Amino acid sequence: MLLCLAAAGGLRAQQVVITGRVLYGPTGRPAARTWVVLHQVAMGGGGQPIDSTRTDARGAYALPIRRPDSAAIYVVSTWHAGIAYFSEPIAPGRSTSGLRTLYVYDTSSTGPAVRVMRRLVTVAKEKRDGSRDVLELVELENPGVATRVARDTLLPTWAGAIPPVAIQFRVGQGDVSPQVVTRRGDSVAVYGPLPPAERKQLSYTYVLSATVRRVSLPIDQPTEEVDLLLEDTTAVVTAGKLDSLGSEDIGGRRFARYRTPSLAPGARLAIAFTERRFAPESLIPFIVGVAGLVLAIGFVVALRRKPRQTSVVVTSERGFTEAGANPARPRHCDGHVGAHHAAPAAQPPLGVITREGEPFARSQETSPFAPPADPSREGWWRCAQGAGASPSPLRRGWAFSLCAAGYSAPTSRP
């Protein structure tokens, strides 16, 4: 019995009760008998309803969290005129947690224009490719008495201009769901509902390419305040009225901070970035490209070049030609080494021997180095044996002696 009472007391101690009220915004009267839903949202982003109840005559509600999760947050929602309204998130800590009053409104597609209460523009430093990331946070306020909704796809709830040079546009997290925000030309368009009397924050990012050295921030509607955070602290900001607030350290990164007062439509606001400093690594693509081009040209030249064929032909003891032999200095028929003489005006190719005064000619055989069938027919002369033999009529200075073969040269052609 004591154990059961202790367990029950422990469960009651763990239980948390969420309380609050729902009222109609314009009049402040209670929204009686309205459904209220309690949601549990995990830190990873997943959420689910865990309980619901109706408000009483005073518009009040009480929703218990029987097993609160310290790693989750809880929100309360209610519906009116087709629009969902959410309370602020709360982390369970005490046994009873009270939420701010939740107001609901009727809807309208007309009314006073939605106002831009604040525009925060953060420009990161230049990346390796020269581009810059930009983050914009815009706070919107509906000054009307009804929740503003879009009439159709051509008339959004709100639209604001962004720089025409902006690329890679993306919608970030904020009070306005990314599913109802899009880029339309050079403007950001919001198609979701905007309730009155509270500010809604919209966030989006885009990129400025490396060629953008100066960017103008368009002011197409009254803007209560513009804040600039520039990681390029040497950038120059131009505006009609501008306050420099020094530098600020955010997450280990240093930013120059500027602020403008209320700006009218068409006001001038521009940022001029410093010229990009030379970086040695920027030459790497150029060097690689030049090296590749040089290699390609060398490869093409090597393919087109014809290989040279150099052969040395000497005469064997049988009168046949032999390729590849190492030529020696010419010898006379007596076996002595002779001196070189001046080369004639026209010399036959090496290894082709002719008679005096006759034009040189290649062998009749298929190979240019093959011996002729009849040596005497093509001027293959033999030297006489012995030291006293008359010298060969071959031209001195380059021809080879045939004396070593033991042949004698005829004096006339048979």
Read off the amino acid at residue 341. H
Residue 340 has a pLDDT of 45
- For 115-272, CATH number? 2.60.40
The model's confidence at residue 290, banded by pLDDT at 50, 70 and 90, is confident
Give the pLDDT band of residue 301 (cuts 50, 70, 90): confident
Residue 258 reports pLDDT greater than 60: yes
Write down the pTM of the prediction. Answer: 0.62
Greatest mean pLDDT range, 78-92, 112-126, 293-307: 112-126
Higher local confidence (pLDDT), 186 or 11: 186
* Residue 303: how many other CB atoms lie within 10 Å: 7
With H, G, I as helix, E, B as strand and everything else as coil, classify residue 14. helix
Q: Is the pLDDT of residue 177 over 80?
A: yes
Tokens representing 268 are 């001038």
Of 72-86, 91-105, 388-402, give the range with the top mean pLDDT.
Answer: 72-86
Rounded CA separation 104/84 (Å): 9
β-strand 132-141 against 199-208: which pairing, if any?
Answer: antiparallel
- Cα 335–chain centre separation: 81
Over residues 321-328, the mean pLDDT reads 47
C-alpha–C-alpha distance, residues 330 and 403, integer Å: 12
The architecture of the domain spanning 2-104 is Sandwich (2.60)
Burial class (CB in 10 A: 0-12, 13-18, 19+), 389: middle
Query: Do the domains 2-104 and 115-272 sit in the same CATH topology, yes or no?
Result: yes
Tell me what pLDDT residue 383 has.
Answer: 44
Q: What mean pLDDT comes out for the span 45-51?
A: 86
**Highest-pLDDT range among 10-14, 76-80, 86-90:** 76-80
Reported as a pLDDT band with limits 50, 70 and 90, residue 96 is: confident
Structure tokens belonging to residue 127: 């990346």
pLDDT greater than 70 at residue 139: yes
pLDDT category, 256, cuts 50, 70, 90?
A: very high
Q: What ranges do the domains of the chain cover?
A: 2-104, 115-272, 312-414
Confidence at residue 305, expressed as pLDDT on a 0 to 100 scale: 72
β-strands 102-104, 16-24: how paired? parallel
**Is pLDDT above 90 for 265?**
yes
